Structure 1
Amino acid sequence: MLNTLLILLIFQTMGEGLVYVLSLPVPGPVIGMLLLLVYLIWKKKVAAQLAPTTSQLLAHMALLFVPAGVGISVHMHRIADEWLPIVVALVISTVVSIVVTAFVVNKLKSRGGK
């Protein structure tokens, strides 16, 4: 378990470092996840070693949203002041996500028949 957590933290740190050094407009953990993805594709056996611990982390993922919920409740006055742009952004991003997902699924289904 400790090895898995160490690997995850190493990739997150690498992502944070790249974002800092290259001044990228992407969060460090996202870059770290992409690096981890490339690593797992390259070293296929590592994925099997990480699976038990990462499955346990995913099983308890709801706990990871507690800090975000607390942050929202702490800044409720700001959310109340800017509720309209927040709602517009949520609606537009949801519609765009649904449309893009439908488009990709449609393209993949049409390829599957060939």
Structure 2
Amino acid sequence: MVYVDLLFSIAIAFGLTVVQGAVFLNLGLRFPAVSLFAILVGGTWGGGQLMVPMGPPLWGVTWLSLFVAGFLCAVVSGAILLLPHAGSVRSMNRTGRHHRAA
């Protein structure tokens, strides 16, 4: 059972990585595909195991809980990747404008 869950998690994470990669490339941004895939596999499988089983079983796996966990992990990782660089965030004042270099 664990191996079938893991295979479903890999398939779901691959699909979400492809969709997220298409969005990032459409925006003209680069993204770490292999790292993102590894994070999504772990998040999908771990989150799917912790959630209450949802959806119809397919080969003994309730795949909807895996998909929901993977989707949430993809949204959070996408939001983190879209944040501006840490240096530019620290150099902003309270109004949201950048300080001039002295």
Pairwise same-fold verdict (TM > 0.5): no
TM-score normalized by the length of structure 1 = 0.29
Decide which structure has greater helix share.
1
Higher relative contact order, structure no. (Cα contacts within 8 Å, ≥ 6 residues apart): 2
TM-score normalized by the length of structure 2 = 0.32
